[in-house]
Structure 1
Amino acid sequence: MAEFSPPDVHQKSGRKKGGKSGKIADFRFKRPSRPKQARPEKGSGASRENSSSFPNRHPSSKRQAYAALDLGTNNCRLLIARPSGENFTVIDAFSRVVRLGEGLAQSGRLSDQSMDRALAALTVCAEKLRRRNVRLARSVATEACRRATNGAEFIERVKNETGIALDIISAQEEARLAVLGCHILLESGEGPAVIFDIGGGSTELVLIEPGGPVPRILDWQSVPYGVVSLSDTVPRMGPTQEDRRARYREMQRVLLESFAPFIERIAGNRDAASHIRLLGTSGTVTTLASVHLGLPQYDRKAVDGLIVPSASMREISSELAAMPMSERGTLPCIGPDRAELVVAGCAILEAILDIWPAPELAVADRGIREGILRSLIAADHEGEQAQRALRELKQDR
């Protein structure tokens, strides 16, 4: 079985065209070229907090901020945070549905419309990065840009128009960051567990061995089917409820077939586990958890860290799959934006529950961005300690 241990700030994996993958580094926001502006005079009221520059302040400053941007197949998300003890406090955030991978399964390319939507969202992110005192930032792109034949061209366009340098990460790095960002919500217990991430263009399953500050990854697999790509791959079959159910079963079949090698490899771990534990991070699980709670609108505090009976998630998934899209769109916490894609998410979730039949599911409203932030802060802290040790060594001489 594949084996690697996150977080490894020096780890590198195979390189994809258009970006580096698998390492934590200083991916600073780089402003696009523009005419120089005069610096504000002293006493002008200009705030250091809103400065668009990135001064080389000492890392120990409590005002330092770190940023993580995740451009996925369906969403563009940004978190900006400051260290707070062993954790961090979010000071700014942004999320927008951009549907970057819409139509990618058929054409193999990012469409002009989807790129324009993503660029509009990234422009908002760039402005937030300018206003905050960001020391280190990392911006990543996932499955849509990995698969698209024009993915590298889009990355270059983003850099030229917004100043944001996107890093196309590998599926392995995506899985590592997701685990790093959410593993603390896993239920306590003995034996291996599974963490999964249902994205827009891919789904990752990771078998971990909990223990210590960071779990050890025993095995993992990523398949190119997320809520967008699976919806595009399995076409609608007709207007009746039975047609909808048939499409739903086909989606499950596609997922199970894709994960067949992983299923075979982890069979012994599943049979040996006395208490099967499962943790999911994605819009699918947080949405279904909201439906389970009967929330009138989404509430992260109520959902993040929730433990839900798997039987309840299966029942909700089956009911949603059987509904007409117009009916799903009227439900709280789903709405018209999620009405179409939530069915694919439900099919993926049920397939995962077949693969790793845990009686309960832990829900995480955190993942890649939080993993990036923890990696950046940890790497910066290690660098600061090394510099301090070097200074002390020089003083002793």
Structure 2
Amino acid sequence: MVDTAPARVTDDPLSLPLTSPADEIGCDRILAAIDVGTNSIHMVVVKIQPSLPTFTIIDREKETVRLGNFCEKTGGLSKDAMERAIAALKRCCDIAHSLQAEDIVAVATSAVREASNGTEFLRRVKNEVGLAIDLISGTEEARRIYLGVLSGMEFHSQPHTIIDIGGGSTELILGTGEPHRFLSSTKVGAVRLTGQFISSNPVNEMEFNCLRAYVRGMLEPPTDDLKRHLASSETPRLVGTSGTIECLAALSAHDRLGFVPDPLNGYQIRYDDLVELVERLRHLTYTERLALPDMSARRAEIIVAGAVILQQAMELLGAEAITICERALREGLVVDWMLTHGLIEDRMQFQRSVRQRSVVKTAQKYRVNLTHGERVAQFAVTLFDQTREHLHAWGHLERELLWAAGILHNCGHFISHSAHHKHSYYLIRNGELLGYTETELETIANLARYHRKSPPKKKHSNYRNLPTKHHRQLVSQLSAMLRVAVALDRRSVGAIASLNCQFDADDRILHLVLTASRSGDDCASELWNLEYKKACFQEEFDVKLLPGLM
């Protein structure tokens, strides 16, 4: 029989170990980060120096694949675009491996999020390239852009507004270098709007006016919302990232200086200069735009729409100038990796608990009984920890997902008590928790969905939405743990103080030794509910669960 030390529910549920092994801290580490965007696939390969901590970019790769040119009939990624993307990703992975990258982190954004066959594309990449790509929400994209900008620019605790114009969406962020004040993602992007509004060459008056009016209408709500997060005395500095803004900066610099600075980092575009530039660009033919300095063929197609987005954003924000930052989402992926691997302890330390803080904020939003949620979460991770290696081999990431589901399992009560587990799935899946990928959100939502009533079944659409058999097994096993944890706080009064797992490997018996919080309490309600809910756990782990009160 294996006896492990009991863990009390008063332990801090947020104290998750996030540090790397000590013998790795002082070594330089190579990491590749890939951004699968609407217009292009970008990769940076960096050398991380954990002792500082900082990173240096040692290689950059970019290929324009135009995933955002959807098939009109299906609303999905076109076959040609997927083939171009897969070929580009293979080259990126070959380069990363040749540079001895220990890990490759990759995310997909607007185009893959919205495509009818986006999940199918991600499966193809996994099968044909061997690369797992995380699909992230627009607000999560904005958060990581913020991290990337912070890694390349000092904010001096002053408010900065960041704008990133992509192919399918535009992100607006407000922050001071501390936790962000505001994140937004709006479906206006240079590729998207070019396809929707521009068919003439050069752009005719009617198309240009329609484009400008649409952009203004789409950007007014997020810019107004952003300004509400500013004090009356604050005037934020505007920072621009992305290829579109860098291209406009290069054109502006060539007009003003006669050359293009290298790097562009720190260069400013004045609003008045941008207005003149937009007027010039809209009257040029595609061939004439292509002849401009630093203009690629693909960029020449979409630059008018991109310029209109920037002009309207600056006008709505009342900005007189915008400063270029060449670090954005890709570098944000690097910073996020460093944070989750315990390599950053300085001014961005707040970001390492972004998941936990986002979960608690969501719980408060949906009026969850946090005291109960924290007890359930702690019981769940205690059961997870004490049965690891005996009953399962899940790791730290899975532990975090279980904790989040434990906190939020009852959030569906916000909608209705009846079938609240199903409502919990919906609220978690659509609540835009920060710090998580789409697959991780789907996992947390499913765990909460199955904390009661029916166990996971293939006929359930939410269970089928999980991308792989691995994820379905994860949900089946961890939801069984969550059921046990929920039973242990049946009355929501903290009747159980601690649990201690003792595993008899010979007879496949897990003894669950429970300690009551109050002398004389027989915890009959909790023990009864545990008997009712333990069947899933016993089936998933092929053990007999025997609870007992000390």
Identify the residue that residue 228 of structure 1 maps to in structure 2. Answer: 191
In the alignment, the residues of structure 2 paired with residue 339 and residue 235 of structure 1 have an alpha-carbon distance, to the nearest angstrom, of 13
Larger Rg computed on CA atoms = 2
State the 1:73 CA deviation: 0.6
Question: Structure 1: how far apart are the matches of 2:22 and 2:261?
Answer: 33
Matches within 5 A, 1:288-307: 288-294=248-254, 301-307=262-268
Instruction: Tell me the distance in 2 between the aligned counterparts of 1:72 and 1:277.
Output: 26
Stretches of structure 2 lacking an aligned partner (at least 5 in a row): 1-13, 346-550
Change over 3 Å in CA distance of 1:196–1:67 after alignment to 2: same
The 5 Å alignment of 1:216-255 reads 216-236=179-199, 238=200, 244-255=204-215
Structure 2 equivalent of residue 45 of structure 1: none
Would the alpha carbon gap of residues 331 and 25 (structure 1) be closer, same or farther in structure 2, given more than 3 Å must change?
Answer: farther
Whole-Å separation in 2 of the counterparts to 1:65 and 1:96: 22
1:319-364 deviation per Cα after TM superposition (whole angstroms, max 9, x unaligned): 1122111211111111422111001100110111122121111112
8 Å Cα contact 1:76/1:98 also seen in 2: yes
> Does the CA contact (< 8 Å) of 1:72 and 1:144 recur in 2?
yes
Mapped contact 1:68–1:370 kept (Cα < 8 A): yes
Alignment of 1:56-135 (within 5 A): 58-84=23-49, 85-103=52-70, 107-135=74-102
**Aligned CA distance change for structure 1 residues 163 and 188 (closer, same or farther; 3 Å):** closer
CA distance in 1, matches of 2:292, 2:319: 27
Q: Which residue of 1 aligns with 2:327?
A: 366
State the alpha-carbon separation in 2 of the partners of residues 370 and 229 from structure 1. 24
Structure-1 separation of matches of 2:152 and 2:131? 31
Letter in structure 2 aligned against 1:356: L
**Any residues of structure 2 matched to 1:135-154 within 5 Å, and which?**
135-154=102-121
**Larger relative helix fraction:** 2
CA contact (8 A) 1:100 1:114 kept: yes
Identity %: 30
Question: Alignment partner of 2:134: what SS?
Answer: strand
- Contact kept, 8 Å, 2:166 with 2:189, in 1: the verdict is yes
Tell me what 2:353 maps to.
Answer: none
* Distance in 1 of aligned mates of 2:210 and 2:140: 29
What secondary structure sits across from 1:196 in the alignment? Answer: strand
How far apart in 2 are the matches of 1:197 and 1:227?
11
1:283-362 to 2 correspondences below 5 Å:
283-294=243-254, 301-362=262-323
1:121-178 alpha-carbon deviations (Å, 9 max, x no partner):
0010111222233233310000010000100000000111111111111111100011
CA contact (8 A) 1:276 1:357 kept: no
The higher-RCO structure (CA 8 Å, 6+ apart) is: 1
TM-score of the pair, normalised by structure 2:
0.55
Work out whether 1:279 is the aligned partner of 2:246: no
The answer (yes or no) to whether the contact 2:53–2:343 under 8 Å persists in 1 is no
1:314 maps to amino acid? V
CA shift in 2, pair 1:184/1:93, >3 Å: closer
- Residue 219 of structure 2 corresponds to 259
Kindly indicate whether the alpha-carbon contact (under 8 Å) linking 2:159 and 2:234 is maintained by their aligned counterparts in 1.
Answer: no
* Equivalent position SS for 2:331: helix
Once the two structures are superposed, the pairs formed by residues 6-45 of structure 1 within 5 Å of their partners are: none
Task: Using the TM superposition, give the Cα deviation of residue 297 of structure 1 relative to its aligned residue in structure 2, in angstroms.
Answer: 11
Secondary structure of 1:259's aligned partner: helix
Residues 74 and 200, structure 1, Cα contact 8 Å, conserved in 2: yes
TM-score normalised by the chain length of structure 1: 0.74
Equivalent residue letter for 2:164: D
SS for the counterpart of 2:188 is: coil
Please state how far the C-alpha of 1:304 moved relative to its aligned partner.
Answer: 1.4
In structure 2, distance between residues paired with 1:206 and 1:305? 18
CA contact (8 A) 1:68 1:369 kept: yes
Report if the CA contact (8 A) 1:177-1:372 is conserved.
yes
The alpha carbon displacement at 1:247 in A equals: 2.0
| 3-state SS of 2:288 partner | helix
How far did residue 233 of structure 1 move? 1.4
RMSD (Å) for aligned C-alpha atoms: 3.0
Q: How far is 1:186 from its partner?
A: 5.7
